[in-house]
Amino acid sequence: MKTAIVAAISLVCVTLVPPPAQSQTPPATPQVWTGNFGAGLALTNGNTDTRNFNVSFGVVRDPKTRSVVRTNGLYLRGDSNDKLIANQMAFVLRDEISLSAKTFVYGQGSYAHDTFKGIRYLFSPTAGVGYKFINTDATLFGIDTGVGGVWERDTGHGTAATGAFNLGERFSRKISNTATITQSIASLWKTNDWSDSLHNFSAGIAASLTAHTQLKFEFLDSFKNRPPLPGLKKNDTALITAFVWKL
């Protein structure tokens, strides 16, 4: 009888007393802001003294919802024997809103300045739609198109405004745990004169040195079909080497 009573009391205690809490690792907080800052400098001395300098940045706000905001900028300057040979700037702010895993709409504003293309400033706000044919952790390939406006002021001319049509393409591929290749095309046409267009092509590779640093090599090609002044070349290219710090 005593044995039965002791067993019953033990069963009640086991039932009523909760087991000791087990430690649990809280889920990692998703990183909303990411970005990078890069700078490069090349100097030559001898028969020709040259200095080439570039600064770039990129910031992404991704709260893991439908909207992703991206902004990036680039400044290039080159001097040869104390004579300016390159001076250009580009800036883009873009908001992409996903409609599905592969389809999105976007709104963006872009700004450009290029002394040797005669562009004092070019500002173009546009909106459109895009599609990602491949959208995985390792590979991204997509295109987009949109319409909007463009305000451009060139050397020797006043500000001219018209409608704009743009077409873009982006590709990136992680070829290893530390290296990524990228490629993009951005084209803009003026609707009052379709022969007046601006096209920017880039291709590059970035290799991680540490968790927060990269070495980046990038080729840029800028083509303006109708330069504002006679004697200006339509095409300019640049090869950039930069040390990049990642947020």
Q: Tokens at residue 237, please?
A: 């290219």
- Identify the burial level of 245 via C-beta atoms within 10 angstroms of its C-beta, where 0-12 means exposed, 13-18 middle and 19 or more buried: middle
Angle made by CA atoms 133, 139, 141, in degrees to the nearest 5: 35
Q: Report the percentage of the chain scoring pLDDT > 90.
A: 68
Name the residue ranges covered by the structural domains of the chain: 32-246
Q: Tokens at residue 59, please?
A: 């910031």
Region of 46 please: left (phi>0), alpha (psi -120 to 50) or beta: left
Residue type, 114: D
Q: Is the pLDDT of residue 29 over 80?
A: no
Q: Tokens at residue 246, please?
A: 């990642």
- Identify the burial level of 110 via C-beta atoms within 10 angstroms of its C-beta, where 0-12 means exposed, 13-18 middle and 19 or more buried: buried
Residue 243 to residue 49: CA distance in whole angstroms: 22
Quick: pLDDT tens for 137-180.
999 999 999 999 999 999 888 999 999 999 999 999 999 999 99
Q: List beta partners, residue 23.
A: none
- H/E run at residue 8: helix 2-16
Q: Is the pLDDT of residue 6 over 50?
A: no
Quick: pLDDT tens for 95-146.
999 999 999 999 999 999 998 888 999 999 999 999 999 999 999 999 999 9
Domain 32-246 = CATH 3.50.50.60? no
What pLDDT score does 41 carry?
Answer: 87
Band of the pLDDT at 45, cuts 50, 70, 90? confident
φ, ψ of residue 118 in degrees (nearest 5): 75, 15
